[in-house]
Structure formats: C-alpha cells, structure tokens
Amino acid sequence: MAEQATVWPDGVIDVIEGPWAGWRTWGELDAFESMVGPFYWRAGADGAIRCAFRAEPRHMNASGFMHGGCLMTFADYSAFAIGMSALGDDWSVTAAFNAEFVGAVSAGALVEAGGEVIRGGRSLVFIRGLVTADGDPALSFSVVAKKAARRS
C-alpha cells in the first residue's frame, strides 16, 4: 500500500493519505483479498458501511470486463465489512454465497458495495448487498456468515 496509514492492534488500517484517505482496510489480513484488491471500507454519516476499490486492467477478463471472480471476491469482502457489528469479535467464515451478475464493470470504474444485515444470530449472520460500478448495478449478493473458532 503506497498511502500513509495508521495500523490498529486488531489489524484495521486507517488510510490517512492518497486517494483512499479517510477509508479503512484490513491490509494483509487475507492474502487472497490483498492480491485481488486492495479493497477499502468506511462508515457513512448514517453509520452504514460502504466498501470500494478502483477497477484496474488486471481485474478484467478476456472480454474486457471485470472478471466475475473479482466481483465475487469483493462482494464477499464487503459482506464481512457490512456485517461487522453483528459478527462482533468472533472469527467467521462464509457458509453460503449467492450472487447475480446484473451489469458489466469496465477498467477505471469506481466499484462500490453497500448492504445490510438481515438477521444476526448466535452463530449465523445473514447479509445482503449490491455492488455498483460508477453507480450502476453490477452484482447483487447475499451471504450467510458462520461464526467459528479460528484455526491456525
């Protein structure tokens, strides 16, 4: 990450310089997401979590549009950011993931996601959201996150 940042003990990174100043990320916590991203999140004035990243040529498929796997990886990341309050400090994993591709994403687009927790229980949290590209719908998704013990 080229930007200057503050790193918290829980691994959350506050970006303080560059184009993503004011956003947060989990940095290198997930090696796969770090390779595909970086992805960012922040809470709006209403407390709702928004996630974002900029589409780059490396994210495109042979047709010149964003690879579906990249969109789904970002949606999965976004689900856990959106569900943070319901997931608490518990380690959690994706138990179910559903997605519908509803639009294409071109290189250079600002890709964003928002959503809501539908229900949070003792062990399962149900989350749904929408990924947009420059404001146009690209992917709708729903995730069931399972609270689980962390494995080494």
* Residue 37, pLDDT score: 86
Backbone CA torsion sign across 42, 74, 35, 85 = positive
CB atoms near residue 24 (< 10 Å)? 20
| Terminal C-alpha separation, the chain | 26
125 phi and psi angles, rounded to 5 deg: -125, 130
Tell me what pLDDT residue 122 has. Answer: 87
pLDDT (mean) for 1-24: 72
- The predicted pLDDT at position 114 comes to 97
pLDDT tens column, 112-150: 999 999 999 889 999 999 999 999 999 999 999 999 866
Domain carrying residue 21: 5-148
CATH number at residue 51: 3.10.129.10
pLDDT tens readout for residues 102-112: 999 999 999 99
**Structural tokens at position 60:** 């495109």
Looking at residue 36, its pLDDT comes to 84
Q: What is the pLDDT of residues 68-115, one digit of tens each?
A: 999 999 999 999 999 988 988 778 899 999 999 999 999 999 999 999
Question: Pairing state of beta strands 110-120 and 124-133?
Answer: antiparallel
Q: Say what the pLDDT of residue 151 is.
A: 61
Q: How many domains does the chain have?
A: 1
Instruction: Please name the residue that has the structure tokens 């490396």.
Output: 58
Q: What was the pLDDT predicted at 1?
A: 43
> Residue 9 pLDDT > 50, yes or no?
no
pLDDT of residue 53: 97
pLDDT at 6 over 70: no
Show contacts of 84-88: CB within 8 Å, 24+ apart.
84/49, 85/117, 86/117, 86/120, 86/125, 86/127, 87/120, 87/125, 87/145, 87/147
